[in-house]
Amino acid sequence: MRINKKKFIYLISPNKIKKDFYRNLKSIFSTNKVSLFQMRLKKYSFNQKISIGKKIKKLCKDNKVKFIVNDDPWLAKILDADGCHLGQKDMELNKARKIIGKKIIGITCHNSIRLAKNAIKLKPSYLAFGAFYYTKTKKTKFHANTNILSEIKKLTNIPTVAIGGINKENYKKLLLNKANFLAISSYIWNNKKYKPIEATKKLK
């Protein structure tokens, strides 16, 4: 997976898709800071995800952003997405590979070198670690620090994604500690101070 240092944002969808979502997404993509977009919708039906996913996919394609589906390789296949993201309790990577082929498959490793080593053997597209900071996006049992990023770089060249509570105050620290991508959601979608486009532009 190619790494563009200027396009370090791995944008995660808001939990709820509101009317202005697609307009905001288009404006965020126009900043040319987003490499990947993950559709993560826990409270929507399969058919709703297909409908929403088709619209997101078009915006991603038009703006050269990789479209990733959370948890579900079958949904990724139906939508012809660029890949999927797997948690530790989701489908095994090898099985997902049989469904979507040579597309992007990322895997969550929480704060664990052991999980990362196991994942590396399966040759994922990226390794995700976190939560690095407090987040309201989802409940987190695991808390990571920047040491894990430097440790992983000693083991592999596979790109790393940092997750959890990332905002304009702390994002540079993660980039300086060699995170390749920053998975961001609440800071952009639920920011009480800045609109989504403004929040994105603060991440320089």
Taking only the tens place, the pLDDT of each residue in 95-142 is 999 999 999 999 999 999 999 999 999 999 999 999 999 776 666 677
For residue 145, the model assigns a pLDDT of: 87
Residues (pLDDT < 50) of the chain are: none
- Report all structural domains of the chain as residue ranges with CATH numbers, in order of start: 9-201 (3.20.20.70)
Name the nearest CA neighbour of 7 among 195, 177, 175.
175
Name the nearest CA neighbour of 37 among 24, 47, 48, 18.
24
For residue 135, the model assigns a pLDDT of: 72
Q: What residue type is 133 in one-letter code?
A: Y
For residue 163, the cross-strand partners are: 130, 183
Which two structure tokens, joined as six digits, stand for 80? Answer: 């012809």
Q: What residue type is 183 in one-letter code?
A: A
Q: What residue type is 151 in one-letter code?
A: E
Question: For the chain, where are the alpha helices, taking DSSP H only?
Answer: 21-29, 46-62, 73-79, 93-100, 113-121, 147-155, 171-176, 186-189, 196-201
